[in-house]
Chains A and B, each alone.
Chain A
């Protein structure tokens, strides 16, 4: 990997292994790199332990989305979804378990897949991308069960509301749609940019970040990041963050969010920004917390840099993993 390539690298997605000891990160060159967290966090860590133990090319286009099931790593690139066995990957055996492609209407251009979400209730995978539709795939037999149509522009992000068995999708058209997976119908459609408190016309109307906590939903992008109460479908707090947020997550009683801007923002449910912790990439695409392991419970962020920052303590950057 030449220096120029490293300079232009962007990390788009991350996923932790089920055992919690490894981190997989996907970049814009279509590569996936595997980092050993136990080595990097151990007392005898050195420069080498911050490099990946395995790097392989997974897709032709950028790897926009990575997701881990109990045994497999799912990666989504240009229109296709590949599955890799974690056990094999740890043994540095690079062979995809399977690769599937949703049914796209037109065969001329292959739409990219931007987001994937796992619905553990019925073991299905929701996939959203450039063809404005959400495809639901059954993980057991690999068949695409249904297509959720409704968005008028490509889909940025997906989230699953387990309790109610709903899928939420946010797209470039500024709409957040809530779909019932059983009936494949759109139950709600919220156009966030139409709400004055959240709208930021200077940025646009797209929704690039969506996450849900059963009762609450965080969404943001062009409009400000806002916390919504799902039952009443109204925004309760709006966060005064200047950039467009690309990923947000609920963690303990805080909200961690990343996006444009060289920092990780810690926010409180009430709407205030508690802290902004500086990190290496100037613009951050992905944020992940290793909930699979207690001793390696770190926060990692990746963005427009070949460095992935690791936070052992949420309030300062400990070190960086490098591609």
Chain B
């Protein structure tokens, strides 16, 4: 098939017609239909459509019959067309640009609203890359046409739109090199010649024309201002604005000195001239709000001398100036990549800046209304600025966080071993305390607990050690007089008591003896101990208190000879049989020793005729009565007491 030559004009006309009908019907269908009908390749058709759309718009504008809505409708159709893929992506932007270029400002407002509303469309992938430069150029053109003081809101809207359109790191929107607007010059009357006050108006007056400048009439006497003016302060105050305009001046020595001097004076005035609290200003604020409807008119500084007093008494004005100071200080102190290397503050300057920053903040806090809040807010904002500054210094990295690719397998983290000599884990297991003496002390023994339990910490003497002297004295053969006996010594006596309580079971023996004095009591104790001591006392620490409380202390002595296992053994039946057999008729004697009651004896006698059996019954009764105390040792001691030593020995041997 031969490719026929693409007829551009024809296609364009066809597209134009369909565009008009699309516009009339507010739908892009005719365009789509036309697109499909015309033969030709995509690219050609697209460019043709672009041209035709532009042509249609141009016609409409030229005719001046259409309203903004018409233009907007056309542009909207073109957006649809792009989405359908029949039109190139730049066309809507070109159309917008054309419209805005050709319309007066008040109508641009409406077009711009349309632009604002469709931010999401512009940001979508199809449109963004194609259109962002066009949009930027379009907005800049608009901004250039607008006056910042007359159309502040519109300018603001355009700026905001740009901010929303572009990502944060878009460099074209940044003041990358931190340059200053050096053209922002504050004009004031620097010397007396320029002051229009107090001077006769020398210009020729035309007939009939009222010269109204400077309130000069036809008077001969120069009109003078009606209030005294502090020219000194006036000049110094406004000179400061030059330093705020161009902070780099501060790095030069001479300029810095001037700045210092003037600032000190100005801040001194602020300090001494405290602002009135609220009464007047509150009313003024309310009036402002109601009349201006939340619009605050900020005129660039009005620098007439006559206004100086009024300005000084205004809180907002003061806040402006003080804020300028803070911004300036932040710049001077801050690290900015684009500052040249000789822009460094010396120590004096830094110190002065610190001091003055504090003063400025204090002054801000004193300015009603809500000075404290304002000061805190300002501090916070300036801190945030530091972050932005840092961001710019790094070359404005993007804020989009990249997804972290997790491909490295996690290595098992090796637990670091404690260093060798740490806490006694080293080879020689020595603790290093950092100080020789301490190290020595700590390393006397590896384990504190063991060290406390070790034998050489036993300081309590044994009974024989302590009482040796007393026992010797108690021996009548030595013939030691009573008053010289060591037991009379109260100190000795006290210690003896303590030792007895820890070591001797005699201490806990209830006794009917009444002792008149400690010495007497100790005498008896000593005598008891004397009997024991030649024999070995098996255990040094006798458990106190619950030791079997037999009536007879002598029993204890005998019992202590027995092996411990025997002591608490219960009498078995077998043993009882043996004993009974051996006892025979003599069981009554034992009964006395076993402290059986007479009634019980009679009972036993009546129970059985057999003496063996009676003996057995006796023992059984004894066992019942004693319960757990029916131990072998008790029986043995009873047997011994009843002179049945043989039987006792037999029993104990068993």
Residues of A in contact with B (beta carbons under 8 Å apart): 41-45, 275, 277-278, 294-298, 312-313, 315-319
Contacts and interface: CB of A to CB of B under 8 A. Distances in A.
A43 B192 contact: yes
A104 to B, nearest CB: 42
Contacts of B562: none
B416 to A, nearest CB: 65
Contact of B273 (A43, A294, A313): A313
A319 B232 contact: yes
Contacts of B166: none
Contact of A315 (B229, B231, B232, B272): B272
Contacts of A319: 230, 232
B272 A278 contact: yes
Given A43-B192, A44-B192, A295-B224, A315 B230 contact: no
Of A43, A44, A297, A319, most buried by chain B (CB within 10 Å of CB) is A43
A312 B274 CA distance: 15
B231 A45 contact: yes
Given A278-B272, A295-B225, A297-B227, A313 B232 contact: no
Contact of A42 (B189, B231, B272): B231
B227 A295 contact: yes
Interface in B252-295: 268-269, 272-274
Interface string B198-230: 100000000000000000000000001111111
A298 B224 CA distance: 16
B228 A295 contact: yes
A191 B515 CA distance: 94
B229 A312 contact: yes
B336 interface: no
28 contacts: A41-B228, A41-B229, A43-B189, A43-B191, A43-B192, A44-B191, A45-B232, A278-B272, A294-B227, A295-B224, A295-B225, A295-B227, A296-B228, A297-B228, A312-B227, A312-B228, A312-B229, A312-B230, A313-B230, A313-B273, A313-B309, A315-B274, A315-B312, A315-B313, A318-B230, A318-B232, A318-B233, A319-B230
Interface in B343-377: none
A45 to B, nearest CB: 7
A192 B198 CA distance: 50
B195 interface: yes
Contacts of B309: 312-313
A265 to B, nearest CB: 13
B230 to A, nearest CB: 4
Contacts of B273: 277, 313, 315-316
Contact of B195 (A43, A275, A295, A315): A43
Nearest to A296: B228
Contacts of A317: 272
Given A295-B226, A315-B274, 5 more contacts: A43-B231, A278-B272, A295-B224, A313-B312, A316-B269
A19 to B, nearest CB: 13
A316 B309 CA distance: 10
A317 B273 CA distance: 9
Contacts of A312: 227-230, 309
Contacts of A316: 268-269, 272-273, 312
Interface in B135-152: none
B197 to A, nearest CB: 8
A298 B228 contact: yes
Interface in B430-460: none
Contacts of B224: 295
Contacts of B313: 315
Of A278, A297, A316, most buried by chain B (CB within 10 Å of CB) is A316
Given A44-B192, A313-B312, A318-B233, A277 B272 contact: yes
B281 to A, nearest CB: 15
Contacts of B229: 41, 43, 312
B331 to A, nearest CB: 29
Interface string B225-246: 1111111110000000000000
A316 B192 CA distance: 23
Of B273, B309, B312, most buried by chain A (CB within 10 Å of CB) is B273
A53 B411 CA distance: 93
Nearest to A315: B273
Contacts of B225: 295
Interface in B302-334: 309, 312-313
B274 A275 contact: yes
A255 B182 CA distance: 47
* 4 closest A-B pairs by CB: A315-B273, A43-B192, A316-B273, A318-B230
A295 B232 CA distance: 16
Nearest to B305: A43
Contacts of A298: 228
Nearest to A299: B228
A58 B197 CA distance: 38
Contacts of B269: 316
Contacts of B233: 318
A277 B271 CA distance: 9
Nearest to B192: A43
A313 B268 CA distance: 14
A44 to B, nearest CB: 5
Nearest to A275: B274
A277 B226 CA distance: 24
A44 B194 CA distance: 12
A45 B233 CA distance: 12
A44 B312 CA distance: 22
Of B191, B228, B313, most buried by chain A (CB within 10 Å of CB) is B228
Interface in B388-406: none
Contacts of B198: 43
Interface in B474-512: none
A317 B192 CA distance: 22
Nearest to A37: B228
Contacts of A295: 224-228
Contacts of B191: 43-44
A41 B225 CA distance: 12
Nearest to A43: B192
Contacts of A43: 189, 191-192, 195, 197-198, 229, 231
Nearest to B189: A43
Contacts of B192: 42-44
Contacts of A278: 272
A277 B272 CA distance: 6
A83 B197 CA distance: 37
A319 B236 CA distance: 13
A45 B192 CA distance: 10
A317 B271 CA distance: 11
B26 to A, nearest CB: 67
B254 to A, nearest CB: 21
Contacts of A42: 192, 231
Interface string B570-606: 0000000000000000000000000000000000000
B417 to A, nearest CB: 70
Interface string B159-195: 0000000000000000000000000000001011001
A45 B195 CA distance: 14
A221 to B, nearest CB: 26
Contacts of A313: 230, 273, 309, 312
Nearest to B231: A43
Nearest to A293: B228
A125 B309 CA distance: 38
A42 B305 CA distance: 12
A45 B232 CA distance: 8
Nearest to B194: A43
A298 B231 CA distance: 14
A112 to B, nearest CB: 34
Contacts of A41: 228-229, 231
B196 to A, nearest CB: 11
